[in-house]
Amino acid sequence: MGPPGAGKGTQGELLARHLEVPRFSTGEMLREARAQGSELGRRAQSYMDAGELVPDEVVLGLIAEALDDTPPTGGFILDGFPRTVAQAQGLDAILDEREAPLDGVVWLNVPEEELVRRLTGRDGSENRTDDEPETVRRRIQVYRDETEPVVRWYARKGLRVIEADGMGSIEEIQSGLRRELAR
Ligand code: AMP
């Protein structure tokens, strides 16, 4: 978990490769659905372009489907999900059924000025339409209002929350995460 631009995708991908587990990014799934022009993609587009969250039941459906195809014993990384407490509760219900709870939360932190710099400087190779400065500011606000409470919700439930500084180099951050996770 972490604000937009914290490096969740980059770090999550490296970690998934290292742990040899699948990674499920709802942001990527939604961008794919949009690129394919599916009904779901069309439904998600206006929310994404405005920097708002796509409705909970849409992303919960995507995650339920992805986990259905994943063995309960194998492990996985969720990237950019859950983003609301309702999503976290929905996820809990899915995981209860699998009898495979979460091990922990990785929380990447980066100061706001750096987030804006990173997000408005992306090179377009990710096929994103939500990098306008105004949209970026809205995405950060939505994160503060909706998603940060999820981290506190997990912490209150007693889940392990690993807080990581998202400022260093990609390699430094990744090795710090691996060290923490191995403890
Ligand atoms: P991301 O690539 O994770 O930054 O996600 C890009 C956009 O997809 C977000 O700004 C939201 O509009 C949408 N999105 C991704 N994941 C979620 C989620 N878990 N809940 C709601 N909307 C999401």
For residue range 160-178, what is the model confidence (pLDDT) as tens digits?
Answer: 999 998 998 999 999 999 9
Model pTM score: 0.93
The answer, yes or no, to whether the previous bond of 82 is cis (omega within 30 of 0) is: yes
Kindly tell me if the per-residue pLDDT of 20 is higher than 70.
Answer: yes
Per-residue confidence (pLDDT) for residue 125, from 0 to 100: 64
| Residue 26 alpha carbon to ligand 1 centre in Å | 6
Q: Assess whether pLDDT exceeds 70 at residue 82.
A: yes
Q: State what percent of residues in the chain have pLDDT above 70.
A: 97
Element (H, E) at 78: strand 77-79
Q: In this model, does residue 85 exceed pLDDT 80?
A: yes
Instruction: Indicate if the pLDDT at residue 127 is higher than 70.
Output: no
Candidate of 29, 54, 78, 120 to mutate for ligand 1, largest count of ligand atoms within 8 Å of Cβ: 54
Q: Is the pLDDT of residue 122 over 90?
A: no
160 is catalytic: no
Annotated active-site residue 139? The verdict is yes
Average pLDDT rounded to a whole number, residues 115-144? 83
The arithmetic mean of pLDDT across residues 29-50, rounded, is 95
| CA–CA separation, 2 and 90 (whole Å) | 19
Buried b / exposed e over 10-47, threshold 16 CB at 10 Å, is: ebbbbbbeeeeeebbbbbbbbbebbeeeeebbeebbee
pLDDT classification of 77: cutoffs 50, 70, 90: very high
- The answer to whether the CB of 7 is under 6 A from ligand 1 is no
Catalytic member of 43, 128, 137, 160 = 128
**Mean pLDDT of the chain, nearest integer:** 93
Q: 130 versus 58: which is more confidently predicted? A: 58
Write down the domain spans for the chain: 8-182
Query: Annotated catalytic, 122?
Result: yes
Give the architecture (CATH level 2) of 8-182. Answer: 3-Layer(aba) Sandwich (3.40)
27 alpha carbon to ligand 1 midpoint, in Å?
5
